[in-house]
């Protein structure tokens, strides 16, 4: 045996102190500053998940030794001042002091209505006959020396005798307090029961969620959540009336860890990344719960049931399940239907025994938000050939009727949410959402959200603007900006032509707001991916897009989409406008239906298990359709009669020939 | 024995007819070349018409191409030093058209002036009676400069100007439009991209009867099968009535075939490859024949022996059609 055990060379360590929070952490040399900050749970944004693309994770190196691998987009002055891109800067040895700039608070409420409005349920919903959660008043015979039945059996006996409910179950946390609760209420109680379990139709007996003195005023509420990649919406539902009493929305707090699902999946691979994403999803929902609680004067323990509809990645992250295999071929989710959970297990601040139902997904990129959409739109129950689309970072779509359902997802990229576009932004105050360009002068007129001074262009504004630039001939069919267009507003900046939609100073704008040729390319790619999805979906079952009898547009972005203008750029098929129907937030509506109706829960499972999922990366016609759609409005003009007519009406087509 | 009925496909569409060269209105050509007009797949005379036999162009450069295969240098000899002489020899070899490449204008090849380019074109026009295809040096900005100058000075000659690509077509199309020329639209082996460029060019107001498309070609062993299927799909779409795919196709078979090592390598190659003298020409002929079968209307060739071989092949293929 050798005893030459030399002392292992100690890994060189760095001691990083973050100011102003004062956190200090020891990390091995070579750890990225972003990883260190995540470890300390500091709020450093990383929309690109630390791939060094966005440059948003800026920190200032006040002292100490660091290694910079990239200074993405920073000026020399900034570098001299110590500014560094945290994900591309690595700790050296010894003491390092890092200044984390305080983040400007983003306005957290996305543009849109946050007011309560009556929401309709699918026709098949049988809330009144078969409610998911019910509350019963009970007058229980107090025990005596003669009647020695246990408290729980006594409660069950009263439920059977007074309401015909049999076989009620209770979980341990409930039993632990049952004896005291019954006696404090003097045996006159209200009990809230989850009436039936819905997982794969196996009817489990009713379950006790809550028990309280009958004399007290009490509410029985539920929460339907649309857990979107960008925005999260929650409906507060009164189980007594079956109505939505209020709704609230906020940006998903995970945005700080990546703008889109792919970035989040990448972020989840970092140390503590998955944990943080899970926590942020829960926090986002809890914040909404709190907001609704305060506004409606209820108690959190009065939230008796929760349904969540989200895409497959969001579902994985909410459950804290590693999503990485969604991104690696052959793109398999860890789960499609979630196990039975209660709020306490996930850390949701509702009643800890409240059931949390997560709507099942179909495939890696067709999630519970889409099955929710299919349910709330009623397309699973119609004879009509229906196309349901949800346009966002991913374009998800379902084709079919009550006989069959076929779905696919196309990666459109973040362009429609303002990502990757120089002056793109989400739909919030100051976003240009509506543009018109004069044929003769090529001057634009536009409107911003809340009429605030223009700060950027949101998705609907981008579609509008591109459509206008195209019809006026400033952008040609291949998406190139005509450098010789007779207007001051077309200029070349850094070798790339662009159109200035708003000059600095115009209506209080701080800077010139432009759409560049590269932005146009990004938008073309986004719309081409979605349109190609329609074509492939239709072709795979041998129908023509023109045979589709109704087109349902769901999803958050859909609400602000102008159909005519979306057709103009070839994002939507050129079909009569009457065929398009806006359904609002179909994901939230589906979650609402599943919250209230046991039948909807069974149907959503049925839909998820029946729906065929078409993986486009395994489809060799997709690329061909994509290239064909990578044109304005499309290479196949015959499919776009109304756009052809508009072009003809504007004088021998687009372009400056003649 | 029951007679076998041969199935006959009937098509609703036709390839557009494009004519190069003119003898009036400024044109000085002794002959013109019309291509296209097919109403069936290539050489299927029993299904439809092929009113014009595919034409053969010979590539001529305005400077001695020292990087060309020794085989080609030997075949053309000193004629390569002067574009006009070279063009004359090419016509003697059987060329229906001359494809003149203004290579010396390229910024990396001497950056020759527009005036020089125009002079060369005029000398070639004077030397031969056949129509001309004129290629710019292959650098976007310089192409635009040179081709505009050439187009203006040769108004009415009905040249084919190339290359238009999706990133650089406007100037060349405008020059062709104003001076009575045709253009060649090149896209990278893709049906949709070819169609899109035709649409863009047509949007500028140039009649499609003045547009040739170059679907881009791979040589035998270098993607020829892919080219074949894309060209076939383009032609099928044209015959099915898709207007924006109905342009005659021009293929640079010679350039592609001679660029490969099979057309140049001598010595250190497997014995089975045979002598370079036959190999290079065989490579060009195999490539060109395949392209003819997939719908080429103009073949641009490099070796005189290939030219006569392809003329023979065309005689055979069109016999009885």
Whichever domain contains A73, its CATH number is: 3.10.20.30
Condensed to tens digits (0 to 9), the pLDDT of residues A533-574 reads: 999 999 999 999 999 999 999 876 777 788 888 999 999 999
Whichever domain contains A288, its CATH number is: 3.30.420.480
Percent of chain B with pLDDT over 70: 99
- Tell me the chain A residues in contact with residue B192 when contact means C-beta distances shorter than 8 Å: 624, 627-628, 630-631, 635
Residue A204 has pLDDT above 70, yes or no: yes
Looking at A135-269, list the stretches that DSSP marks H as alpha helix, in order from N- to C-terminal side.
151-163, 172-184, 261-268
pLDDT attached to residue A129: 72
pLDDT attached to residue A654: 44
Q: Which residues are B296's β-sheet partners? A: B249
Do the chains contact at A476 and B200, CB–CB below 8 Å? yes
What's the 3-state SS for chain B?
CCCCCCCCCCCCCCCCEEEECCCCCCCCCCCCEEEECCCCCCCCCCCCCCCCCCEEEEEEECCCCCCCCHHHHHHHHHHHHCHHHHHHHHHHHCCCEEEEECHHHCCCCCCCCHHHHHHHHHHHHHHCCCCEEEECCCCHHHHHHHHHHHHHHCCCCCCEEEEEECCECHHHHHHHHHHCCEEEEECCCCHHHHHHHHHHHHHCCCCHHHEEEECCCCCCCCCHHHHHHHHHHHHHHHHCCCHHHCCCEEECHHHHHHHCHHHCCCCCCCHHHCCHHHHHHHHHHHHHHHHHHCCEEEEEECCHHHHHHHHHHHHHHHCCC
Percent of chain A with pLDDT over 90: 53
The phi-psi region of residue A584 (left if phi > 0; otherwise alpha if psi is between -120 and 50; otherwise beta) is left
A165-193 burial string, b = 16+ CB within 10 Å, else e?
Answer: beebebeeebeeebeebbeebebebbbbb
Burial class of residue B96, CB neighbours in 10 A (0-12, 13-18, 19+) = buried
Residue A195 lies in a domain: no
Do the chains contact at B192 and A630, CB–CB below 8 Å? yes
Question: How far is Cα B244 from Cα A133, in angstroms, rounded to an integer?
Answer: 62
C-alpha of B106 from chain center: 20
Task: Select from B239, B212, B243, B235 the least CA-distant residue to B99.
Answer: B212
Residue A174 lies in a domain: no
On whether both A328 and A339 belong to a single domain, the answer is yes
Do the chains contact at A631 and B190, CB–CB below 8 Å? no
Do the chains contact at A478 and B203, CB–CB below 8 Å? no
Do the chains contact at A478 and B204, CB–CB below 8 Å? no
Q: Which helix (H) or strand (E) holds A18?
A: strand A13-19
On whether both A272 and A376 belong to a single domain, the answer is no
C-alpha of B12 from chain center: 26
pLDDT attached to residue A507: 84
8 Å CB contact between A209 and A243: no
Average pLDDT over residues A310-316: 95
- Tell me the chain B residues in contact with residue A658 when contact means C-beta distances shorter than 8 Å: 205
8 Å CB contact between B131 and B28: no
Instruction: Report residue A202's pLDDT band, with 50, 70 and 90 as the boundaries.
Output: low
Residue B8 has pLDDT above 70, yes or no: yes
- Tell me the chain B residues in contact with residue A635 when contact means C-beta distances shorter than 8 Å: 192, 195-196, 199, 244
A:B CB pairs within 8 Å:
45
Condensed to tens digits (0 to 9), the pLDDT of residues A219-250 reads: 899 999 999 988 899 999 998 888 899 999 88
Residue A600 lies in a domain: yes
Q: Which position has the token pair 């014995």?
A: B271
Residue B130 has pLDDT above 70, yes or no: yes
Structure tokens at A508: 């209080």
Structure tokens at A651: 């004088």
Residue A620 lies in a domain: yes
- Highest mean pLDDT: which range of A146-150, A504-508, B32-36: B32-36
Question: How far is Cα B317 from Cα B314, in angstroms, rounded to an integer?
Answer: 5
Whichever domain contains A610, its CATH number is: 3.30.420.40
Q: Domain end: A329, A347, A363, which one?
A: A363
- Tell me the chain A residues in contact with residue B206 when contact means C-beta distances shorter than 8 Å: 657
pLDDT attached to residue A88: 87
Polymer length in residues for chain B:
321
Residue A610 lies in a domain: yes
A578-607 burial string, b = 16+ CB within 10 Å, else e?
Answer: ebbeebbbbbbbbbbbbbbbbbbbbbbbbb
Structure tokens at A162: 């007074």
On whether both A513 and A533 belong to a single domain, the answer is no
Alpha-carbon torsion, ordered B114, B116, B122, B128, to 10 deg: -120
Residue A496 touches partner B, C-beta closer than 8 Å: no
Residue A393 has pLDDT above 80, yes or no: no
ipTM: 0.81
pLDDT attached to residue B36: 97
Average pLDDT over residues B95-115: 96
Residue B81 has pLDDT above 90, yes or no: yes
Do the chains contact at B196 and A477, CB–CB below 8 Å? yes
What mean pLDDT is reported for chain A? 87
Burial class of residue A104, CB neighbours in 10 A (0-12, 13-18, 19+) = exposed
Average pLDDT over residues A37-43: 82
Residue B321 has pLDDT above 70, yes or no: no
Condensed to tens digits (0 to 9), the pLDDT of residues B191-204 reads: 999 999 999 999 99
Structure tokens at A526: 């986004």
More confident of the two residues A229 and B39: B39
Polymer length in residues for chain A:
658
Condensed to tens digits (0 to 9), the pLDDT of residues A451-501 reads: 999 999 998 899 999 999 999 999 999 999 998 899 999 999 888 999 999
Taking residue A349's Cβ as centre, other Cβ atoms within 10 Å add up to 19
Do the chains contact at B192 and A655, CB–CB below 8 Å? no
Name the domain count of chain A: 4
* Assigned fold of B49-265+273-318: TIM Barrel (3.20.20)
pLDDT attached to residue A365: 87
Q: Domain end: A75, A99, A123, which one?
A: A99
Residue A113 has pLDDT above 70, yes or no: no
On whether both A594 and A612 belong to a single domain, the answer is yes
pLDDT attached to residue A117: 43
Question: Widest CA span of chain A, in angstroms?
Answer: 103
Question: How far is Cα B208 from Cα B204, in angstroms, rounded to an integer?
Answer: 11
- Tell me the chain A residues in contact with residue B203 when contact means C-beta distances shorter than 8 Å: 476-477, 653-655, 657
Residue A124 has pLDDT above 70, yes or no: no
Residue A547 lies in a domain: yes
What are the structural domain ranges in chain B?
49-265+273-318
More confident of the two residues A201 and A232: A232
8 Å CB contact between A187 and A210: no
Average pLDDT over residues A102-110: 51
Residue A178 lies in a domain: no
Which residue among A477, A480, A630 places its CB closest to the CB of B199? A477
Q: Which residues of chain B have a Cβ shorter than 8 Å from any chain A Cβ? A: 166-167, 173-174, 177, 190-193, 195-197, 199-200, 203-206, 244
Condensed to tens digits (0 to 9), the pLDDT of residues B249-278 reads: 999 999 999 999 988 888 788 888 888 889
pLDDT attached to residue A57: 84
Q: Which residues have CB under 8 Å from B26's CB, separation 6+?
A: B154, B155, B156, B157, B180
pLDDT attached to residue A110: 43
Instruction: Report residue A201's pLDDT band, with 50, 70 and 90 as the boundaries.
Output: low
pLDDT attached to residue A526: 92
Condensed to tens digits (0 to 9), the pLDDT of residues A276-287 reads: 999 999 999 999
Condensed to tens digits (0 to 9), the pLDDT of residues B294-317 reads: 999 999 999 999 999 999 999 999
Q: Which residues have CB under 8 Å from B74's CB, separation 6+?
A: none
Question: How far is Cα B320 from Cα A318, in angstroms, rounded to an integer?
Answer: 74
Phi, psi for residue B57 in degrees, rounded to 5: -110, 150
On whether both A541 and A496 belong to a single domain, the answer is no
- Domain carrying residue A449: 415-522
On whether both A420 and A328 belong to a single domain, the answer is no
pLDDT attached to residue A301: 92
Task: Select from A390, A410, A389 the least CA-distant residue to A399.
Answer: A389
On whether both A251 and A350 belong to a single domain, the answer is yes
Which of A472, A657, A658 would best serve as a mutation to test chain B binding (most B beta carbons within 10 A)?
Answer: A657
Residue of B nearest to A475 (CA): B200
Phi, psi for residue A224 in degrees, rounded to 5: -110, 120
On whether both A328 and A277 belong to a single domain, the answer is yes
Taking residue A416's Cβ as centre, other Cβ atoms within 10 Å add up to 27
Beta strand B249-251 with A456-457 is unpaired
Q: Which helix (H) or strand (E) holds A445?
A: strand A444-448
pLDDT attached to residue A119: 55
Question: How far is Cα B57 from Cα B301, in angstroms, rounded to an integer?
Answer: 6
Taking residue B241's Cβ as centre, other Cβ atoms within 10 Å add up to 13
Which residue among A478, A654, A656 places its CB closest to the CB of B166? A478
Residue of A nearest to B241 (CA): A638
On whether both A407 and A437 belong to a single domain, the answer is no
pLDDT attached to residue A109: 40
Task: Select from A455, A430, A314, A437 the least CA-distant residue to A372.
Answer: A314
On whether both A374 and A354 belong to a single domain, the answer is no
On whether both A446 and A540 belong to a single domain, the answer is no
- Highest mean pLDDT: which range of A14-18, A124-128, B249-253: B249-253
Residue A172 lies in a domain: no
pLDDT attached to residue A100: 87
DSSP sequence for A515-540: EEHHHHHHHHHHHHHHHHHHHHHHHH
Q: Which residues have CB under 8 Å from A444's CB, separation 6+?
A: A435, A436, A437, A438, A465, A468, A489, A501, A502
Average pLDDT over residues A361-375: 91
Q: Domain end: A487, A522, A557, which one?
A: A522
Question: How far is Cα B297 from Cα A309, in angstroms, rounded to an integer?
Answer: 58
Which of B144, B166, B192 would best serve as a mutation to test chain A binding (most A beta carbons within 10 A)?
Answer: B192
pLDDT attached to residue A103: 65
Question: How far is Cα A84 from Cα A63, in angstroms, rounded to an integer?
Answer: 12
Residue A19 touches partner B, C-beta closer than 8 Å: no
A586-to-A272, A427, B114, B156, B254 alpha-carbon distances in Å: 33, 19, 63, 63, 59
On whether both A506 and A562 belong to a single domain, the answer is no
Average pLDDT over residues A438-463: 92
Q: Which residues are B202's β-sheet partners? A: none
């Amino acid at each position: 045996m050798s005893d030459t055990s030399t002392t292992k060379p100690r890994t060189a360590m760095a001691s990083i102190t973050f100011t102003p929070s004062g956190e200090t952490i020891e990390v091995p040399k070579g750890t990225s500053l972003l990883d260190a900050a995540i470890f300390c749970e500091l709020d450093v944004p990383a929309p690109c998940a630390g791939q060094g693309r966005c440059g948003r994770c800026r920190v200032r190196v006040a002292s100490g030794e660091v290694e910079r691998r990239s200074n993405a987009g920073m000026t020399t002055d900034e570098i001299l001042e110590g500014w560094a891109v945290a994900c591309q800067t690595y700790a050296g040895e010894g003491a390092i002091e890092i200044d984390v700039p305080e983040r400007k608070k983003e306005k957290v409420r996305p543009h849109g209505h946050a007011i309560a409005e009556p929401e309709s349920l699918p026709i098949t919903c049988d809330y009144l006959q078969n409610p998911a959660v019910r509350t019963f008043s009970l007058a229980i015979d107090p025990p005596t020396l003669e009647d020695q039945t246990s408290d729980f059996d006594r409660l069950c006996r009263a439920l059977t005798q007074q309401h015909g409910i049999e076989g009620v179950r209770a979980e341990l946390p409930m039993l632990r307090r049952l004896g005291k609760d019954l006696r404090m209420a003097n045996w006159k109680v209200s009990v809230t029961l989850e009436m039936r379990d819905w997982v794969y139709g196996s009817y489990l007996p009713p379950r006790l969620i809550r028990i309280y003195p009958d004399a007290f005023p009490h509410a029985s509420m539920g929460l339907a959540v649309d857990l979107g990649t960008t925005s999260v919406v929650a409906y507060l539902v009164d189980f007594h009336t079956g109505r939505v009493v209020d709704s609230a929305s906020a940006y998903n707090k995970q945005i700080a860890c990546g703008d889109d699902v792919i970035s989040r999946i990448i972020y989840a691979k970092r140390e503590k990344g998955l944990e943080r994403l899970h926590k942020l999803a829960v926090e986002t929902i809890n914040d909404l719960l709190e907001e609704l609680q305060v506004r409606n004067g209820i108690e959190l323990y009065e939230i008796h049931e929760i349904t969540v509809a989200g895409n497959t990645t969001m579902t994985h992250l909410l459950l804290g399940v590693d999503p990485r295999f969604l991104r690696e071929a052959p793109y398999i989710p860890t789960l499609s239907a979630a196990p039975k959970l209660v709020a306490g297990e996930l850390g949701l601040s509702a009643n800890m025994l409240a059931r949390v139902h997560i709507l099942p997904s179909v495939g890696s990129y067709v999630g519970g938000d889409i099955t929710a959409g299919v349910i709330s739109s009623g397309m699973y129950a119609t004879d009509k050939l229906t196309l349901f689309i949800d346009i966002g970072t991913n374009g998800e779509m379902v084709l079919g009727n009550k006989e069959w359902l076929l779905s696919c997802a196309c990666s459109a990229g973040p362009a429609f949410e303002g990502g990757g576009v120089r002056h793109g932004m989400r739909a919030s105050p100051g976003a240009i959402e509506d543009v018109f360009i004069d044929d003769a002068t090529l001057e634009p007129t536009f409107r911003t959200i809340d009429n605030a001074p223009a700060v950027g262009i949101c998705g609907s504004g981008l579609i509008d603007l591109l459509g206008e630039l195209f019809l006026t001939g400033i952008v040609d069919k291949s998406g190139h900006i005509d450098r010789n267009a007779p207007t001051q507003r077309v200029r070349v900046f850094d070798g790339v032509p662009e159109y200035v939609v708003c000059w600095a100073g115009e209506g209080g704008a701080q800077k010139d707001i432009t759409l560049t040729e590269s932005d146009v390319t990004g938008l073309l790619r986004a719309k081409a991916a979605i349109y190609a999805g329609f074509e492939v979906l239709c072709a795979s079952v041998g129908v023509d897009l023109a045979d589709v009898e109704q087109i349902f547009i769901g999803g958050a972005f859909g609400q602000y989409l102008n159909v005519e203008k979306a057709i103009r750029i070839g994002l939507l098929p050129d079909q009569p406008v009457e065929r398009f129907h806006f359904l609002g937030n179909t994901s939230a509506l589906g979650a609402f239906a599943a919250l209230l109706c046991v039948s909807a829960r069974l149907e959503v499972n049925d839909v998820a298990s029946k729906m065929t999922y078409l993986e486009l990366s395994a489809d060799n016609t997709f690329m061909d359709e994509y290239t064909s759609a990578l044109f304005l409005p499309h290479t196949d003009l015959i499919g776009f009669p109304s756009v052809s007519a508009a072009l003809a009406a504007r004088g021998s087509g687009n372009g400056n020939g003649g | 024995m029951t007679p076998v009925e041969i199935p006959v496909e009937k098509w609703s569409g036709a390839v557009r007819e494009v004519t190069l060269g003119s003898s009036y209105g400024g044109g000085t050509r002794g002959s013109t070349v019309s291509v296209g007009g097919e109403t069936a797949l290539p050489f299927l005379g029993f299904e439809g018409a092929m009113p014009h036999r595919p034409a053969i162009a010979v590539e001529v450069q305005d400077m001695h191409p020292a990087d060309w295969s020794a085989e080609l240098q030997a075949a053309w000899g000193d004629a390569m030093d002067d574009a006009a002489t070279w063009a004359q020899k090419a016509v003697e070899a059987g060329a229906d058209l001359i494809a003149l490449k203004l290579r010396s204008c390229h910024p990396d090849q001497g950056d020759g002036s527009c005036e020089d380019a125009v002079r060369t074109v005029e000398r070639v026009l004077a030397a031969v009676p056949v129509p001309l295809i004129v290629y710019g040096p292959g650098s976007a900005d310089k192409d635009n400069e040179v081709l505009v100058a050439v187009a203006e000075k040769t108004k009415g000659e009905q040249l084919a100007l190339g290359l238009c690509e999706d990133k650089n077509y406007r100037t060349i199309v405008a020059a062709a439009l104003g001076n009575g020329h045709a253009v060649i639209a090149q896209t990278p082996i893709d049906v949709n991209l070819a169609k899109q460029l035709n649409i863009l060019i047509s949007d500028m107001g140039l009649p499609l009867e003045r547009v040739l498309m170059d679907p881009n070609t791979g040589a035998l062993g270098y993607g020829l099968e892919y080219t074949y299927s894309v060209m076939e799909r383009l032609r099928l779409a044209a015959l099915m009535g898709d207007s924006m795919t109905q342009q005659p196709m021009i293929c640079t078979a010679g350039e592609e075939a001679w660029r490969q090592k099979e057309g140049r390598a001598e010595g250190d190659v497997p014995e089975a490859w045979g002598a370079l003298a036959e190999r290079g020409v065989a490579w060009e002929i195999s490539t060109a024949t395949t392209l003819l079968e997939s719908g080429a209307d103009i073949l641009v060739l490099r070796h005189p022996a290939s030219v006569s071989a392809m003329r023979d092949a065309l005689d055979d293929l069109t016999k009885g059609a």
